Amino acid sequence: MLATLKRLSFESDTPMPWRKVGMMILAMVVPAVVAVSVLGRPGTIAFVAAMPACLAAMDGGLKVSTLVTLVMGMAGLLSLGQPDMALIVAPLLGAMVGICGSFGLAKPAIRGLLTWPIFTSPILGTGQMPLMFLVFLLAMAWAIAVVWLFGEVCSSGAEDRESEPYAMVFGAALAIGLTVSVWVGNRYFGEHGFWFPLTFVILVLPPHGQLFSRTVKRSVGTVIGTALALLAAAVTDQTWIMVALGGISLALGFRMLPRNYTVFTALVTVAVLEVLALVSSVDRLALERIGTMAAAAGMTAALGLLGGGILRLVRPGALEALQETGVEDPPVSGQRRRDSRASASRAG
């Protein structure tokens, strides 16, 4: 009983090394802090570029990271402030992920989508487009360079190859879910409607066999993190304390990511809510966060069942194979194993 509970609660016995945590903070947070300090709200586009660039480089390498981040950036500029255009772009991005998944590159492709929904929200504004794209490119280059300098390129381990033959099925489900979540988020969840598609994209990250368990863990973690953020807001509204709490929670969240996904989600939720609370009411943010999480979890489960039903009809035994496999442990040297590069090389 205890062994089963531990297996369900903990993904690994080893937390992320502090060196790697520091690298991710340096790659993703520093350019955003600098850009926001200089440009104000439009400077948040630095984080929009740096986060997916950093994570994709750790998953698929420098070239793959550059490609998916640039595609996401251009797709974002096309849809910035134009909800109708976002609905056209969304299914195309889902198809792109499906194609990339056929070559074992679903994770870095989805990483590129992580912050794309922010382009569909009013959080960035629609002015200074050339300047924002320049900042986007600089932040992307910074994040990729930091990953390279720290020797963390392709350090996340290979994707499970069992997912590759069914990548287009999950790509189709992603295209549908991304389109629906963008439309619903813009229409019903106000300024922070980007949380709906963002949460959905996070939930469909490979390995696909962990779709339902990850959805449950993220839902629980979101509720816990929201409760902690509300508690902190009730205790104090001092700006420096909120910023400090957000920064500490983000670092600890990265630290716990390999070990416990629920705790990671809770800590990241605290970090996001504490930072956004500087410009909005915590109570409203908490309600929107819980609402978007519930909506994304429900849609993810429905699409997962649909995709699973299709797989069961087309290829009996596929679901069992997917559930028995997962992402391999990252190699000790920080580089992918030799046999894990075959899929990436097929992509050119």
d(CA 182, CA 86): 7
Residue with token string 């929904």: 117
Residue type, 251: A
Return the structure tokens found at 181.
């979540």
Q: Other CB atoms closer than 10 Å to residue 133's CB: what's the count?
A: 16
Return the structure tokens found at 273.
């809510």
Q: Residue 26 in contact with residue 306, Cβ under 8 Å?
A: no
Integer angstrom CA distances of residue 117 from 46, 124, 147, 204: 15, 11, 24, 15
Asked whether the predicted pLDDT for residue 342 surpasses 50, the reply is no
Q: Residue 225 in contact with residue 273, Cβ under 8 Å?
A: yes
Q: What integer best gives the mean pLDDT of the chain?
A: 77
The reported pLDDT for the residue numbered 232 is 84
Return the structure tokens found at 195.
């949380």
Task: Give the pTM.
Answer: 0.78
Grade residue 329 by pLDDT with cuts at 50, 70 and 90: very low
Residue type, 153: V
Highest-confidence segment of 10-14, 38-42, 61-65:
61-65
Chain-centre distance for alpha carbon 164: 20
d(CA 250, CA 98): 30
Nearest to 204 by CA among 102, 289, 307, 133: 307
The reported pLDDT for the residue numbered 331 is 40
Mean pLDDT lowest for which of 7-11, 83-87, 235-239, 331-335? 331-335
The reported pLDDT for the residue numbered 245 is 86
